[in-house]
Amino acid sequence: MKRKILLTAGLVTASALAAHAADTPVTLESLKSDIANTLLTANNVWMMVCAALVFMMHLGFASVESGFTQSKNTVNILFKNTAIVAIGILTYTICGFNLMYPGDAGAGLMFPPFGLDNFGISNPANGDTVEYYNGSYTYYTDFLFQAMFAATAATIVSGAVAERIKLGPFLIFSTLFVGISYPITGFWKWGGGWLDAAGFYDFAGSTIVHGVGGWGALVGAILLGPRIGKYGKNGEIRPILGHNMPLATIGVFLLWLGWFGFNGGSVLSADPGATSLTLVTTNLAAAAGVISSMVTTWVLFKKPDLGMVLNGALAGLVGITAGADQMSAMDAVIIGLVAGVLVVFSVRFFDKIKIDDPVGAISVHLVCGIWGTLAVAFFGAKSTVDGQFMAQIKGIASVGLFSVIFAFVVFMILKITVGIRVSEAEETEGLDIGEHGAHSYPTFTKSNA
């Protein structure tokens, strides 16, 4: 296998040289430029693969969320997940990308500079060349990869508010959340804003993506209140069973696979050492999350719980995301182990305090996102940096505060004006009929003939 790759690489270089040789003589400078261009091609391919992998995570979210909810709400869940991908990519095109990445003009700022000419995307003169970003990717690849990321933040909210939120208001919320809130907090760190200057570190978004989505999910779940039937007359917890555990499991596997791109692509090049390390830490944390959540449920509930273990895998993945390129293999295992335990107690905790989250999105993305962000200061290469812990706290708190206020204001305005929750009758009958007039499984009924 190795020899074949070498041979292919040789051919690529040779053909590049041949093309060159036709018009100009080969010089040291031309060779350097050829090698840089070849590297750009290799880097760019990896980044496009990663963009595709992150896109596929939306299928993962759609599967997990429909699996963990009731069959009478499946059309609605799938509809939301489909619409969010489209909304995410389009709003990111209209304003999100330029809001989040204003370039040098935004260095160290709180609010990204944004003018009328920042609407829409357009390939700059050097957009397809090595000058655009150290030969790592082209402008359009940059945009696409970041656009795929953006939509995930809103998808996280979808799971927590499932089975009771009105479709229209949810779509309005998602548009504003992905189009404005996510890019602003994203700019603070990844766009070179004030958090970046403050030393905050978040490699692939434990806080910037998962935390943001988690905070939105928390606000939404609180403002909506629990689903009908989740709590008995005396406040006792009555589980509302998800209708399809195979679907939930497929979803988790898809998300896990997608994380190869989510973290792997966040290296922002195909740098061999960094990408390999990142994929290893990412997978180790997921595996550790599975094992620790399994042991935790086995001890606590006397039986190993699949639903919790699925959350455990995601918990490990979210946990490692902030420092996936900074950790050793052992660090990654520890971070995953802690996340897997944390998620089980967190799901139980939110159930007890009557914040109803059908899929465990708040526990997975918010709680483990916070843990992963803090872990950067405890483990790995950044743990020796002075003031890293305070920088991490600053990041978690500021991004959290902004996201909570934004989500609260938008949800409250929607709640007061059009209402955010479906009627009791609609919720009981299911949102599939109420919101869409359709069944997800029309042949389930016995009187089908």
Partner 1 sequence: MKLIIAIIKPQYLDAVKDDLKANDIRRLTIMEVQGYGEQLGHQELYRGQEFAVNLTPKLQLEIACNDEFVDKIVASICSGAKTSPEGAIGDGKIFILDLQEAIKIRTGEKGPSAI
Residues of this chain, 25-84, that bind partner 1 according to CB under 8 A: none
Within 8 A by CB and 6+ apart from 438, the residues are 75, 432
Q: Which of 11, 19, 35, 241 binds partner 1 (CB under 8 A)?
A: 241
Least Cβ distance, residue 311 to partner 1 (angstroms): 8
Interface region with partner 1, contact rule CB under 8 A, candidates 23-31, 187-195, 278-286, 340-348: 340-348
Taking CB under 8 A as the criterion, which residues in 303-332 touch partner 1?
A: 303, 305, 307-308
Between 265 and 307, whose beta carbon lies closer to partner 1?
Answer: 307
347 beta partners: none
- What whole-number distance in Å separates Cα of residue 112 and Cα of residue 105? 8
Quote the least distance from Cβ 77 to partner 1, whole Å: 17
Tokens read off for 41: 């091609």
Sequence-separated (6 or more) residues with CB below 8 Å from residue 41: 12
CB closer to partner 1 out of 315 and 410: 315
State how far the Cα of 37 lies from the Cα of 413, in Å rounded to an integer: 51
Applying CB under 8 A, among 197, 228, 300, 385 the residue interacting with partner 1 is: 300
Among 239, 272, 437, 442, binds partner 1 (CB under 8 A): 239
Q: Which residues contact 111 (CB under 8 A, 6 or more apart)?
A: 184
Question: Shortest CA distance to 161 belongs to which of 337, 398, 414?
Answer: 414
Provide the 3-class DSSP secondary structure of residue 146. Answer: helix
- For residue 140, the one-letter residue type is Y
**Cβ-based neighbour number of residue 112 at 10 Å:** 22
Task: Tell me the number of residues near partner 1 by CB under 8 A.
Answer: 17
Residue from 94, 237, 274, 433 that binds partner 1 (CB under 8 A)? 237
Torsion of CA 430, 432, 434, 437, to 10 degrees: -140
Rounded least distance, CB 348 to partner 1, Å: 5
Residue 299 makes contact with partner 1 by CB under 8 A: no
186 CB burial (10 A radius; 0-12, 13-18, 19+): buried
The residue within the footprint of partner 1, chosen from 65, 331, 351, 432 (CB under 8 A), is: 351
Q: Which of these ranges, 128-136, 278-286, 345-353, 407-415, lies near partner 1 under the rule CB under 8 A?
A: 345-353
Residue among 297, 326, 373, 440 that touches partner 1 (CB under 8 A): 297
**What is the C-alpha separation between 81 and 60, in angstroms, rounded?**
10
The DSSP secondary-structure symbol of 235 reads S
Residues that bind partner 1 (CB under 8 A): 237-239, 241-242, 297, 300-301, 303, 305, 307-308, 344, 347-348, 351, 360
